[in-house]
A and B are shown apart, each in its own frame.
Chain A
Amino acid sequence: MSSAHPHKIGQAIGEGRWTRLALITIALIFLGLMLIAPLFVVFVEAFSRGVGVYIDALAMPDTMSALRLTLLVAAIAVPVNLVFGVAAAWAIAKFEFKGKAFLLTLIDLPFAVSPVVSGLIFVLLFGANSVLGPLLDSAGIKVLFAVPGIVLATVFITFPFIARELIPLMQQQGSSEEEAAVSLGAGGWRTFFQVTLPNVKWGLLYGVLLCNARAMGEFGAVTVVSGNIRGVTTTLPLHIEILYNDNKAAAAFAVASLLALLALVTLAVKTVLEARFANSHAAQRRH
Chain B
Amino acid sequence: MQVRAENISKRYANMAALDDVSLTVGAGELVALLGPSGSGKTTLLRTIAGLEHPDSGAVYFNDRDASESRIQDRGVGFVFQHYALFKHMRVMDNIAFGLRARKTNKPSEAEIKRRVMELLDLVQLSGLDHRFPSQLSGGQRQRVALARALAIEPSVLLLDEPFGALDARVRKDLRRWLREIHERTGHTTLFVTHDQEEALELADRVVVMNRGKVEQSATPDAIYDRPATPFVFSFIGESSVIPVMVGNSRATLDERTLDLEVANLPDGPAQLYLRPEDVAMVTDGGPGIPGLVVSTRRIGGMRRITIECGMARHRIEFDAEAEVPIANLQRLQVRVIGGRVYGAESEGYETEKLAASATSDFKWAKAEGWLDR
- The yes or no answer to B283 lying at the interface (CB within 8 A) is no
Q: For A179, give the chain B residue with the smallest CB separation.
A: B51
Q: For B134, give the chain A residue with the smallest CB separation.
A: A287
Q: In whole angstroms, how far apart are the Cα atoms of A210 and B72 in the complex?
A: 37
Q: For A180, give the chain B residue with the smallest CB separation.
A: B84
In the complex, which residues of chain A have a beta carbon less than 8 angstroms from the beta carbon of B86?
177, 180-181, 194-195, 198
Asked if A284 contacts B84 (CB within 8 A), the reply is no
Q: A183-B74, A199-B88 are in contact. List 9 more A-B contacts (CB 8 A).
A: A177-B85, A180-B145, A181-B101, A183-B49, A183-B51, A184-B151, A185-B152, A283-B135, A284-B134
Report B40 CB to chain A, min CB distance, Å.
18
- The yes or no answer to A247 lying at the interface (CB within 8 A) is no
**Chain B interface main SS type:** mixed
Q: Which of A183, A185, A198, A286 gathers most chain B CB within 10 Å?
A: A183
Report B148 CB to chain A, min CB distance, Å.
7
| Interface size of B in residues (CB-CB distance below 8 Å) | 31
Of A180, A195, A287, which one neighbours B80 at CB under 8 angstroms? A180
- The yes or no answer to A14 lying at the interface (CB within 8 A) is no
Q: For B51, give the chain A residue with the smallest CB separation.
A: A179
Q: In whole angstroms, how far apart are the Cα atoms of A198 and B152 in the complex?
A: 23
Q: For A286, give the chain B residue with the smallest CB separation.
A: B134
Q: For B77, give the chain A residue with the smallest CB separation.
A: A183
A180 with B88, Cβ < 8 A, contacts A185-B101, A283-B132, A287-B134 known: no
In the complex, which residues of chain B have a beta carbon less than 8 angstroms from the beta carbon of A180?
78, 80, 84-86, 145, 148
A–B pairs, 14, beta carbons within 8 Å = A179-B78, A179-B80, A182-B71, A183-B71, A184-B149, A185-B102, A186-B72, A186-B97, A187-B72, A194-B97, A199-B88, A280-B88, A284-B88, A287-B134
In the complex, which residues of chain A have a beta carbon less than 8 angstroms from the beta carbon of B151?
184
- The yes or no answer to B76 lying at the interface (CB within 8 A) is yes
Q: For B81, give the chain A residue with the smallest CB separation.
A: A176
What total of A-B pairs shows CB separation below 8 Å?
75
In the complex, chain A residues 269-287 whose Cβ is within 8 Å of any chain B Cβ: 280, 283-284, 286-287
In the complex, which residues of chain B have a beta carbon less than 8 angstroms from the beta carbon of A280?
88, 132
In the complex, which residues of chain B have a beta carbon less than 8 angstroms from the beta carbon of A176?
80, 82, 84
In the complex, which residues of chain B have a beta carbon less than 8 angstroms from the beta carbon of A198?
86, 88
Report A259 CB to chain B, min CB distance, Å.
35
In the complex, which residues of chain B have a beta carbon less than 8 angstroms from the beta carbon of A179?
51, 78, 80, 84
A184 with B84, Cβ < 8 A, contacts A179-B51, A287-B133 known: no
In the complex, which residues of chain B have a beta carbon less than 8 angstroms from the beta carbon of A287?
87, 132-134
A184 with B88, Cβ < 8 A, contacts A176-B80, A179-B78, A283-B135 known: no
In the complex, which residues of chain A have a beta carbon less than 8 angstroms from the beta carbon of B80?
176, 179-180
- The yes or no answer to B243 lying at the interface (CB within 8 A) is no
In the complex, which residues of chain A have a beta carbon less than 8 angstroms from the beta carbon of B49?
183
- The yes or no answer to A248 lying at the interface (CB within 8 A) is no
- The yes or no answer to A190 lying at the interface (CB within 8 A) is yes
Report A230 CB to chain B, min CB distance, Å.
49
Q: In whole angstroms, how far apart are the Cα atoms of A278 and B283 in the complex?
A: 72
